[in-house]
A = this chain, B = another copy of it.
Amino acid sequence: MSDAQSEAVRRRVNHKVATAYDVASLAGVSQSAVSRTFTAGASVSNRTRERVLEAAKALNYRPNQVARSLSTSRSGVIGVAVSHLDNQFYPDFLERLSDALDLMGYRILLFVTKGSQDFEPVLGELLRYGVDALILASSSLSSDLGEQCRAAGVPVVMFNNTDPRSQVASVAGANETGGRAIADFLLAAGHQRFGFVAGVEGTSTSGEREAGFTQALREAGLDAPARQVGDYSFEGAWRASIALLGQDARPDAIFCANDHMALATLQAAQSQFGLTPGQDLSIIGFDNVTIGAWPCFQLTTYSQPMPLMVDRTVTQIWRLLDGKDDGGRHEEVSGELIVRASCRIPSTGLVQRPDGTMIWRAPDRP
C-alpha cells in the first residue's frame, strides 16, 4: 500500500471526510481527474472515470459544495423569503416550489419574515450567503429590496406581489380581473350592498383586487363598497368583519382580499351574527386554498393556480440565471371564479368542469 493510500485510509479512520485528493491518490490519478468525473459535461476517459468512481465509493467521497461554490460562484441555493405561514397559501407555495427547484438541483434557503419588518438588513446578509437567486413571496415586502438585489446582479422574482413601476420580475394572479369578476358575480346574484376586507394597505395584491372590484361596482352605477382593513391576518379580518356586519345597513356581500381572511369573515358571520353564508349573505375570497373547499366552509373564491404560478416563477428564475434579462417581466396568471356554497348563486353563467367543480363566467356583454 502506497503512502498516498495509507494517508487516505488514515483520514477515513479519523472520521475526516475524504477530499478529492484522497480519492485521486487512491485511484492513482490527479485531483483534476476527480473533479472532472464529478463535473457534468467534463472530459474524462471511461477508464479514468471508473477508477475514480470506485475510489470515491470506497472512501464515501462526495464533492464539497462549499468549496465548489467558492470556485464557481454558484451555490445551487435559492433564497426564499416568505411570510404569513399561517395562511395555507404559503406553505402550499413552499411545498411546490421545493419540488420544482429540487428537479433542477436547487435548494431553498428559507427566510421567514414578519410582515414588513426590517427585513432589509437580513437580506443584505443573505446576498453574501451566495444564493444564486431570490424569490420574494412576502406580499408585504417592498420592491426596493428586490431592486437592490437586482442591482447586485442577483436574479429576483417577486411572487404574489408586484411593483409595476419597478424592474423586478414578478409572478402574480389576475388580481384586477379577479376583482372585477367577483363584482360581476355578486351583482349577477342580485346583491346590493357590498363590503370589502383589505389586506395590508399598500400591497399590490390587495390594492389591485380592490381596484378591480370597486371599478366594476362603479361601472354598474354603485358606490364603492364599505371597507375595512384586515391586514391579511385572521384576527384582523375577524375584527374587520365584525365592524362591517355591525353597521346599520349591513352588507349582503363581502369580498375579502384573500381566502385566509374570508375564512375569518365566514366564521364571524356565523358565530357572532348568526348569519348563514350563502343565504343571509355572500362571502367570497381569493386564492382557492385547499381548506376553503372543506365541507364546513365551502368558500367561493377566485383561484390562483399554484402549480402554474410556481412554474412561471421558476421559469423566470432560470431565464434570469441564463442572463436572458429581457421582457416579459411582470407575469400574470389567470384564475377562475370557483363557486361554492358561501355565496348566493346567480342564475346564469355557471359552468361545471369535468372534475365537478363549478365555475362562473361572466355572460358576454352586448
Contact = CB atoms under 8 A, between A and B. Distances in A.
Nearest to A289: B86
Contact of A109 (B15, B63, B77, B128): B77
A19 to B, nearest CB: 11
A125 interface: yes
Contacts of A290: 86
Contacts of A94: 85, 110, 112
Contact of A296 (B69, B110, B129, B271): B271
A77 B125 CA distance: 13
Contacts of A110: 80, 94, 98, 107-110
A130 B92 contact: no
A226 B211 CA distance: 54
A66 B130 contact: yes
Interface string A33-65: 000000000000000000000000000001111
Contact of A111 (B17, B107, B127, B270): B107
A107 B91 contact: no
A129 B112 contact: no
Contact of A85 (B91, B294, B295): B91
A124 interface: yes
Interface string A270-304: 11000000000000000000110011110000000
Given A107-B110, A267-B295, A86 B92 contact: yes
Contacts of A104: none
A90 interface: yes
Nearest to A290: B86
Contact of A98 (B66, B91, B111): B111
A13 interface: no
A130 B64 contact: yes
Interface in A73-91: 75, 77, 80, 85-86, 88, 90-91
Nearest to A97: B112
A86 B91 contact: yes
Contacts of A122: 102
A65 B296 contact: no
A259 to B, nearest CB: 13
Interface in A143-189: 152-153
A107 B129 contact: yes
Contact of A65 (B85, B90, B95, B128): B128
A66 B62 contact: no
Nearest to A17: B152
A267 B88 CA distance: 18
Contacts of A66: 66, 69-70, 75, 129-130
A99 interface: yes
Given A110-B110, A111-B107, A128 B64 contact: yes
B109 A65 contact: no
Interface of A: 15, 17, 62-67, 69-70, 75, 77, 80, 85-86, 88, 90-92, 94-95, 98-99, 102, 107-112, 122, 124-125, 127-130, 152-153, 263, 266-267, 270-271, 290-291, 294-297
Given A88-B88, A90-B91, 10 more contacts: A62-B128, A65-B128, A65-B129, A85-B92, A85-B94, A86-B95, A110-B110, A271-B296, A296-B296, A296-B297
